[in-house]
Structure 1
């Protein structure tokens, strides 16, 4: 099965929209103090803003990704770092405490790492495809 570049372009746009809309929705446009309370290292308002910025970068390269092999490697690494951070957070924290304080923050902590693992594998797939592509 050959995946067309148009489908991969949509994957980049989806990755970007998940970052942008996910953060803006669950942080209530950076007014939800519970998200930073439970992970001030990665999920401060500054950290959340940087996640939104990454989302715009994913969208910005969506139509030219096939020329940007090493940037896609950076995307892959970025998602691996966030996904691993989330996995570690989930193993060492009580998610129900987040839900008790704020449902939106609880939902955010429940899903953001799953999203990052999915897009880690997406970017890895794209990177491997680009590496194997004959110039």
Structure 2
């Protein structure tokens, strides 16, 4: 497996988590995100998304087999994708946009972003399983 692709993917996941949360939450001051999903997207939940981003960043510097770490990351992303789908089915995204453009954009894309990185982490797991 190409280590540059692996490293880039993990760094991209880290930047999306860290940069996305800090940008769309306006450094944890955008209460509209919290209001529309007070369990998953509370400020504590957003902080934990940052922590996951730091874990991805740390993983980008591991040069040995990280298949089980990638599997854990894929599972974590699956949980967020499911949470997003459940949220999307029970909420009206236009009402989020009416209150705040950043929050609306956040809720529009976070599940798609997590789905893409879930596929990447699953791919890393599968590829490293084949190479083992």
CA–CA distance in structure 2, aligned partners of residues 58 and 45 of structure 1? 20
> How does the TM-score come out when normalised to structure 2?
0.96
TM-score by length of 1: 0.94
Structure 2 residue ranges without an equivalent (≥5): none
What is the aligned partner in structure 2 of residue 32 from structure 1? 30
Map of 1:63 onto structure 2: 61
Equivalent residue, structure 1, for 2:83:
85
| Distance in 2 of aligned mates of 1:65 and 1:23 | 28
Q: Shift in Å at residue 67 of structure 1?
A: 2.1
Structure 2 residue 112 is matched with structure 1 residue 114: yes
1:26-61, CA deviations, whole angstroms, 9 ceiling, x for partnerless residues? 000000000010001100000000001100110111
Query: Structure 2: how far apart are the matches of 1:61 and 1:31?
Result: 29
Equivalents in 1 of 2:83, 2:58: separation in Å? 25
Q: What residue ranges of structure 1 are gaps of 5+ in the alignment? A: none
Number of aligned residues: 132
- SS of equivalent residue, structure 2 residue 11: helix
CA–CA distance in structure 1, aligned partners of residues 45 and 63 of structure 2: 25
Q: Does structure 2 retain, via aligned residues, the 8 Å contact 1:36–1:43? A: yes
Measure the CA separation in 2 of the matches of 1:70 and 1:19. 20
Aligned match of 1:49: 47
Q: Which residue of 2 aligns with 1:99?
A: 97
2:7 aligns to what? 9
